[in-house]
Structure 1
Amino acid sequence: MLQNKDFLVLLIRLFLGYVFFSAGVCKLTHGNFGQLIGPPWLEERLAEYGLSFFAQVVAVCQVVLGTLLFTQRFSTLGAVMLVPMNIAILAVTISQNWAGTPYVNAVFLAMNLALLLYDRKRFQFLFSIEPALSAPSLALDTLRTGKLPWAVIGAALLTLGLSRFNYPLTNAAGLLTFCLAGATVILPHALDRLQKLIVLLAVGNMCFLTLGMKLPYTHVSIAICSGGILVLLVVHAWLHARQKRTASTV
């Protein structure tokens, strides 16, 4: 069973991984992939200024960074690389006077910094004159092993490869990426049953959001999954607090 702090970091990785992976694929498929932040018309808008290729690079970078967060194995690298992108997106939304959007991006940046704060001990060697012998062990390191992180990368590359040729297959490859990202977390024995159920609901939300344009009652399904996640998170926090009280009285 992961502690509350570790499990929260894991959920943030999955959330930001989905946000940026789906946003990048949505741009590459011109809006034919469900996502949260957009804008799907970035390439068309920047093409007016001869920056179509730049828009494609931004989209591919978003997919890559989201994939790194999904893998858990390379999530620290993804969190580091995501900081300048989050800052750039925040600066653009402020300069364009987009109502409300800067606040959303500020939350994403805060989540990004929280991931780096969790991994702060890995960066101590940057400020020390002593040679780094080994990276400190963290609770989530148990999710870094095995072949599933590489399978996530393979599915993400397949999604990228299909994004310019076939939108239905791109959606299918994207769903495969989400499922593998969930399996990377669920199959190891680091999580208890309640935590695994929360992750399953989160992956379900990813799938519903991706196929939202094609499935009936999508909003209801997303609301049910989101409500279930919130309820289970409260139950999880309560059980963990009770467990700590019981341990302290023994």
Structure 2
Amino acid sequence: MKFEKLRTSKFNHWVIIHLRYLVGFAFFPSGLVKLMGNRFTRISTDNPIGYFFEALYQSGFYWNFLGLAQISAGILLMTQRYATLGALMFLAILTNIWIITISLSFKGTWIITSLMMIAVLVLLIWDKHKLLPIFNYNKTSIIKEYPDPALVWIITGIVYAVSCIALYMLDPVKGNTYEKWFSVILGAGILLTFVFSNYKAYKNRKQVLSP
């Protein structure tokens, strides 16, 4: 089967793993802004876009809840092990965002959200064997099992998630010398983690998948 051939390709696994990192990270900036109770944009309320976001901001806890949902979806994706649940959450949230960017005529933003929609659909298709039993109601289903990502990718995702959240909390641009240096260390840690995990996968292809 074509799907099985694609699903067992180690290179495809590597692409999907990093696509999860990328898509998961995409929700962090806007999600953290909402979770911390800050405004997402400074556009005037005379503009429909500014008016819309100001109304959401004034909703209070709902604004924080949106941020929490985005961060949760991003973290689940980056853990790799719970990436299917993260992709489902991401699809629900992103579909809403995608429709908003189209209906309010965001300049160029709808293109970005459309690409994100394609990416999350690819992730769901990748894990379709986990989702098909949902639609096979009252039918006996044989679920094909594929190896999970190796431990190195799970740890890498956790490092990325924690580091990105910490970098936002530190605010290296406006922070003191201590925060700036700690931000540099975190940035270096992200870079070293990326280099190490990919070097390990390149050196030993079996590291892409667990036994």
For 1:8 and 1:151, the matched residues in 2 are separated by: 18
Asked if the contact 2:27/2:74 (under 8 Å) is kept, the reply is yes
CA distance in 2, matches of 1:121, 1:91: 28
Could you tell me the percent identity over the aligned residues? 22
Q: State whether residues 30 and 41 of structure 1, in contact with CA within 8 Å, keep that contact through their aligned partners in structure 2.
A: no
Give me the whole-angstrom Cα distance separating, in 2, the residues matched to 1:82 and 1:66.
Answer: 8
The equivalent of 1:179 in structure 2 is 190
- The CA distance in 1 between the partners of 2:69 and 2:126, in whole Å, is 23
Q: 1:218: which partner in 2? A: none
CA distance in 2, matches of 1:18, 1:96: 24
Give the TM-score normalised by structure 2. Answer: 0.63
CA contact (8 A) 1:21 1:62 kept: yes
Secondary structure of 1:73's aligned partner: coil
Q: How big is the shift at 1:146?
A: 9.3
Match for residue 232 of structure 1? none
1:101 equivalent in alignment to 2:109 = yes
Whole-Å Cα distance in 2 between the matches of residues 91 and 28 of structure 1? 22
Distance 2:37 2:57 in 1: 18
Residues 1:46 and 2:42 aligned together:
no
Give 1:49 deviation, angstroms: 7.0
Letter aligned with residue 146 of structure 2: S
Which amino acid in the other structure matches residue 190 of structure 2? C
CA-to-partner distance for each residue in 1:99-155, whole Å, 9 max, x for gaps?
1111110110010000001111111211333456766114xx133689837955993
Gaps of 5+ in 1: 32-37, 196-250
What are the ranges of 5 or more consecutive residues in structure 2 without an aligned counterpart? 1-8, 44-49, 173-178, 206-211
Q: 2:63 aligns with which of 47, 50, 55?
A: 55
Give TM-score scaled by structure 1 length: 0.55
Flag the 1:158–1:135 CA change in 2: closer, same or farther, 3 A.
farther
Aligned residues: 181
For residues 198-225 of structure 1, give each alpha carbon's deviation from its aligned partner in whole angstroms, at most 9, with x where no partner exists. Answer: xxxxxxxxxxxxxxxxxxxxxxxxxxxx
Indicate the residue corresponding to 1:136 in structure 2. Answer: 145
1:19 corresponds in structure 2 to 26
Work out the CA distance in 2 between the residues paired with 1:48 and 1:186.
Answer: 40
